Homo-oligomer: A and B are copies of this chain.
Amino acid sequence: MHSIILFAHGARDPEWARPLQRLREAVLARRPEADVRLAFLEFMTPSLPEAIDAAAAVGATDVAVVPVFLAQGGHVRRDVPAMLETACARHPALEIRLQPVLGEAQSVLDAMAEVVLAG
């Protein structure tokens, strides 16, 4: 089974996660059979390691970790690879793949530019 983990920063305000939940729904609307989970760096749960454990527990064979960040900062460059290394060691049969940061995709930037101008 293919799992997708949408990994975001997190915030103290529970409302902050709402667009992430909407992103999860948008992914599921396109691929209803996928196992799509949220994970957070801080303030919110589950953590990325917890989400990977949960995906493995329900029988995932591969996991795509998608950083839902606007840009690749220190969190994505340093913290995520370290977490994934630990997760790989815990789940040697699981293929874990790190996708590029979402905010750097040209199609996402183009969609943002259109919204800026629709204002």
Residues of A within 8 A of B (CB): 4, 6, 8-9, 11-13, 15-20, 22-23, 26-27, 29-31, 64, 66, 68-74, 77, 97, 99, 101-117, 119
Question: A112 and B23: CB pair below 8 A?
Answer: yes
- How many of these chains are in the complex? 2
Sample (25) of A-B pairs whose CB atoms are under 8 Å apart: A4-B116, A6-B116, A9-B70, A11-B73, A11-B74, A13-B74, A16-B71, A17-B71, A18-B104, A19-B70, A19-B71, A19-B109, A22-B106, A23-B112, A27-B113, A27-B117, A30-B113, A64-B119, A68-B70, A68-B112, A105-B111, A105-B115, A107-B111, A107-B115, A108-B115
Q: Is the interface of A mostly helix, strand, loop or mixed?
A: helix
Question: A117 and B31: CB pair below 8 A?
Answer: yes
> Within the complex, what minimum Cβ distance (angstroms) separates A15 from chain B?
7
Closest A-B pairs by Cβ, 3 of them:
A26-B113, A111-B111, A11-B73
> Within the complex, what minimum Cβ distance (angstroms) separates A116 from chain B?
5
Highest count of chain B CB atoms <10 Å: which of A6, A19, A101: A19
